[in-house]
Amino acid sequence: MQTHQIMEKIPGRPHPIDIHVGSRVRMRRTLVGMTQDQLGQALGITFQQVQKYERGTNRISASRLHDMACILGVPVSFFFEEMPVGQNAAPAQADDDADPMGKRETLELVRAYWRITDPRLRRQVYDLARVLADAGGGKE
């Protein structure tokens, strides 16, 4: 039998799982090219409520999460993938600076990259990005 460690909520901050699920909602919404307003309309809520869900400020009910999964074209389990493990495993910050994969710029770049239909041209863009990063534009 597998045991799981329960993540503790830090007083005054959203629960780490709510933050994670919200960031996965934001990532998927951005990848499919949907605005917060469009997702809100599809769910029958305001874009402000979508913002609160994405930040983890408000918890997403099971039925609402199911609706989001259907709208965004993923299984419900998608929102729990890559979940940090262990107590207090939430990122130090709930904003986009903590994780480059959560940045809008990164997600839009990935979407644009995959819209390139010619595989050779797509590879050239990939190679160019690697060369630029190696030339001093990267952090590594």
Q: Give residue 86's pLDDT.
A: 58
Q: Give residue 5's pLDDT.
A: 58
Q: Give residue 94's pLDDT.
A: 43
List, for residues 64-121, the tens digit of each pLDDT value.
999 999 999 999 999 999 887 654 444 444 444 566 766 778 878 888 888 889 989 9
Average pLDDT over residues 43-62: 95
Q: Give residue 6's pLDDT.
A: 62
Average pLDDT over residues 9-13: 73
CB 4 within 8 A of CB 38: no
Identify the residue with better confidence: 8 or 19: 19
Residue 66's contacts (CB-CB under 8 Å, 6 or more residues apart) are 76
Q: Could you tell me the CA-to-CA distances from 99 to 22, 74, 103, 124 in Å, in that order? A: 13, 22, 7, 26
List, for residues 38-50, the tens digit of each pLDDT value.
999 999 999 999 9
Q: For the chain, what percentages of helix, strand and coil (3-state, to nearest 5) are there?
A: 60, 0, 40
What domains can be seen in the chain, in order of their start residue?
12-90 (1.10.260.40), 100-140 (no CATH)
